[in-house]
Amino acid sequence: MSERAVFATRIGAIAATVGSAVGLGNIWRFPYEAGQHGGGAFLLIYLACVLVMGIPVIVAEFVIGRASRKNVCGALRALSPWRGLHFFGYLCVLASLMIMSFYSVVCGWILEYIMQAVRGGMTGHTSQQNAEMFAQFVQNPWRSVMWTILFLLLNYLILRRGLKRGIERLSNVLMPLLAVLLLAFCLNSLFMPQVWQGLSFLFTPDFSQISPRMVVGAMGQAFFSLSVGLSCLLTYASYFKENDSLLRNATMVAVFDTLVAILAGVMIFPAVFSYGVAPEAGPKLIFEVLPSIFQQMPVGGLWAVMFFALLFVAAITSTISVSEASIAFFCEEWGMSRNRASLLNTVVSMIFGSLCALSFGVMSGFTIAGKTLFELFDYVASNVFLPVGGMFFCIFVGWLLDRKLVKDQLTNHGTLSPRMLKPLIFCVRYVAPAAILAVFLYGIL
């Protein structure tokens, strides 16, 4: 068996892992959640949740990944004191394929809108015309499918090249590009008429807005934004070098992911205050509200192109990590070559992704438990598999895994200071599982 790949550089490892966490949820879900829950108060609670819940769960996945040097199933089989726990890894692989199926549909929409922005297809459109344009596009039985398949082919071309020549090399280019694009939008927002109203809303906490519903919303945003519970971070950690500090890497992932979410708020809130609109959830914000704002800005066509390019960068860095979790499984558990595993992941995602795309049009009448296939995949993966996965990894590391192994991984066999070990393990064992349970129950009830 050939030696397992590792990231070539520490910067490459951080770029890829941060790219795994940073996704479309940072760009549209955080501003929506903050807008719905009082702005500054939500941000304050969100930061606390990242600290006491997000970082501990990332560390738990990192410990399992690097200690085993295997995919999620192989890792649980190698490290678990109980037989049969490795079967939980199959749920993680299933979750990654489900997420790729519906997430790639939205990524296909982004490719369509990049083309429309370059062609000037939204020039002069009112908000109502943008809404009609989006509705007509997603209901087209084959156009959305075509873009979904094209996005997955791009994803495949990256993944088949492997860790260093594919994932790491792309991350080293795209993550700085994402930062440049995001900072350009934030700088532009600082010159908008109602900039101070927008920034005040985001950064000035109104403690009267704090409620149990808002706290649970902040916990959910922190959890899903960081992409924990899916085994993506576990898989990437299995490629870390032995001298990498797991706690430092986890902290950097959380910090950069949170910074992107905050910058997305800085980008969006001055705009919505200046142009008299409210942040809306999901696709409506991205494909209807913001294009209308761009039309009212100087050189709005250029900003539209840059914005959808920003979304594409955030999307592709996330999907390659989601895919890597299942590809590592196919390679190591089923003995496939890298190319065949990447191809299998792509074909499965194409089949179910196409069905999810059609659920907005010709298959809109096909429902399971009252949900279209797109809605079902989104709901089950986001509200069931991810929180259950995050809770499982915390319990596994906090209660089942050998204490010495955990300490060796977090201190690099005694070469790093153990002073943060006790509070970290406390969060892994008690705080994070309790918080995730609250998010899980809130999501399904």
User: What are the sequence ranges of the domains in the chain?
Assistant: 10-444
- The predicted-structure confidence for 103-154, as pLDDT tens digits, reads as follows 999 999 999 999 999 998 887 777 788 888 888 998 888 899 999 999 999 9
Instruction: Please say whether the beta carbons of 400 and 348 come within 8 A.
Output: no
Q: What pLDDT score does 257 carry?
A: 94
Q: What pLDDT score does 1 carry?
A: 40
Give the containing element (helix H, strand E) for 269: helix 246-274
Report d(CA 154, CA 392) in Å as an integer: 33
Contacts of residue 221, defined as CB under 8 A and 6 or more positions apart, other chains included, come to 25, 29, 30, 33, 46, 49, 261
Report d(CA 73, CA 65) in Å as an integer: 10
- The pTM (predicted TM-score) of the whole model is 0.94
For tokens 């749920």, the residue is 91
- The predicted-structure confidence for 351-363, as pLDDT tens digits, reads as follows 999 999 999 988 9
Q: What pLDDT score does 282 carry?
A: 59
Spell out, as residue ranges, where the chain has pLDDT lower than 70. 1-3, 278-283
Which string of DSSP letters, residue by residue, matches 345-390? HHHHHHHHHHHHHHTTTTTTT--BTTB-HHHHHHHHIIIIIHHHHH
For domain 10-444, which architecture applies? Orthogonal Bundle (1.10)
- Residue 401 CA: distances (Å) to CA of 86, 234, 247, 311, 328: 13, 15, 17, 38, 22
Report d(CA 226, CA 54) in Å as an integer: 7
Report d(CA 6, CA 129) in Å as an integer: 49
CB atoms within 10 A of CB 225: 25
The residue type of 251 is: T
Q: What are phi and psi of 361, to 5 degrees?
A: -130, -105
Exposed / middle / buried, residue 281 (Cβ in 10 Å: 0-12, 13-18, 19+): middle
